[in-house]
Structure 1
Amino acid sequence: MNLQKMFKMQAELDRRIIREKGLEGRDLLPGLILALQVELAECANEWRGFKFWSENQEPNRTGYIDCDVCVDQPGRYEVIHEGEILSLPCPKCEGREDVYVGDRLLEEYVDCLHFFLSIGNTIGVKEYVPFKLLTLTNDITGFFNSVFRLVGKWDRVFLFFEHEQYHVAMYQFLQLGEVLGFTSEEIEAAYMEKNEINHKRQQEGY
């Protein structure tokens, strides 16, 4: 996984957002840290494994949802042509009755990565330095809690002078990706795709 390339791509996107949203001179770091925590929570929510009270603890990876266009006639779509009612394959799901909306768990993980990279760029981290530490668990809940704990300790002033804090949290986050079952290739491809979407959103006035 080419993290150095991603740091540069994220910096380009962040510069565009700052320019187009008129955010020059604003201290964005507190918002970035909070956004990362929100995305971590959303990622955990899509993983579902901590929900011991639920019958459904399977990760949301299929990415398929019921089509919202052909609700009354699954897979079909009725149109009137020259006074005649025609039943055609649904234009949205193409008759399949469901729509692929992507791998939700991977997408949320990559959203976290976007904010990790933005924070790194903001505090002046030029490259990721693997900072290995003793991992006391391979339990996914433990990894989520570890990343939350590390990010929750971040302080603006300390981060600017002690990048070690950042690298430790990033290492744990990358370990979390591994135990969730993502390959480096999957993460990088998903990042590239989401980065393109984020640029498009800026173009469309998101």
Structure 2
Amino acid sequence: MISSQALIWLSEQQQKLDAYILKNIDVQTDQLYINKKIIAFFVELGEYANEERSFKFWSKKNPSDLTIQLDEYIDGLHFLISLGNDLNFNFKDFTFKQFDVKTNLESYFVILDKLNAFSQIQNTNNYQNLLNAFLTIAQINNYSETAIIDAYKIKNKVNFERQDSNY
């Protein structure tokens, strides 16, 4: 699973991206800003679920390729790490604790529960629970730390380019 060192690196990279975004747009970093990030994370979770497809009982179509799934997962991770940075969360002391779930479908319900708790009370305990819940998906799907970091690097580059092109 992802190490605290990798999370620290992700946090540092996310700080750079967030600073770049804020430099280019006029936005107040207030509660509304945080709420928008929470909704953005929620949307990205849905986009990941849409590509992973475990909930689509009506469809025989296979899940999207791993690259596409990881791309959507990383979109969620971008917003989640950003929220942690907003809280000044100490990623150095983070220890992953997998929730007792075996499937993505079960994970989604845990994530939604933890996201709701975090949206109500934005503290480090609720954030850590949400991060653990989201990382549980990576554990269930055997996404390696290397795969996560590599996908993050690719998407982070795209996100900087999008800012330069008024995305």
Q: How does 1:21-170 map to 2 (within 5 A)?
A: 21-27=25-31, 28-56=33-61, 58-61=62-65, 103-127=67-91, 129-130=94-95, 132=97, 135-155=99-119, 158-159=121-122, 162-170=123-131
Match of 2:164 in 1: 203
Structure showing the higher strand proportion among its residues: 1
- Per-residue deviation at 1:25? 4.4
Seen in structure 2, the aligned counterparts of structure 1 residues 137 and 199 have a Cα distance that, compared at 3 Å, is same
Match of 2:133 in 1: 172
Segments of 4+ moved more than 3 angstroms = 24-27
- Per-residue deviation at 1:155? 3.2
Structure showing the higher helix proportion among its residues: 2
- Per-residue deviation at 1:197? 1.0
The runs of 5 or more residues in structure 2 that have no matched partner are none
Larger radius of gyration: 1
The runs of 5 or more residues in structure 1 that have no matched partner are 63-102
Distance (Å, rounded) in 1 between the aligned partners of 2:101 and 2:119: 26
Q: Do the aligned partners of 1:131 and 1:171 also contact (CA within 8 Å) in 2?
A: yes
TM normalised by structure 1 equals: 0.72
Could you tell me which amino acid in structure 2 is paired with residue 181 of structure 1? N
Task: Tell me the alpha carbon deviations over residues 66-112 of structure 1, each in whole angstroms, 9 at most, x when there is no partner.
Answer: xxxxxxxxxxxxxxxxxxxxxxxxxxxxxxxxxxxxx2111000000
Q: Do the aligned partners of 1:40 and 1:148 also contact (CA within 8 Å) in 2?
A: no
**Identity rate of aligned residues, in percent?**
28
Q: Do the aligned partners of 2:118 and 2:130 also contact (CA within 8 Å) in 1?
A: no
TM normalised by structure 2 equals: 0.88
- Per-residue deviation at 1:137? 2.2
Q: Name the SS of the counterpart of 1:7 in structure 2.
A: helix
Q: Do the aligned partners of 2:101 and 2:107 also contact (CA within 8 Å) in 1?
A: yes
Q: Name the SS of the counterpart of 1:53 in structure 2.
A: coil
Correspondence for 1:9 among 4, 8, 13: 13
Q: Do the aligned partners of 1:32 and 1:119 also contact (CA within 8 Å) in 2?
A: yes
- Per-residue deviation at 1:181? 3.1
Q: Name the SS of the counterpart of 1:119 in structure 2.
A: helix
- Per-residue deviation at 1:24? 4.0
Aligned-CA RMSD value: 1.7
Match of 1:75 in 2: none
1:18 aligns to 2:22 (yes or no): yes
Query: How many pairs does the alignment contain?
Result: 161
Seen in structure 2, the aligned counterparts of structure 1 residues 22 and 195 have a Cα distance that, compared at 3 Å, is same
Seen in structure 2, the aligned counterparts of structure 1 residues 126 and 112 have a Cα distance that, compared at 3 Å, is same
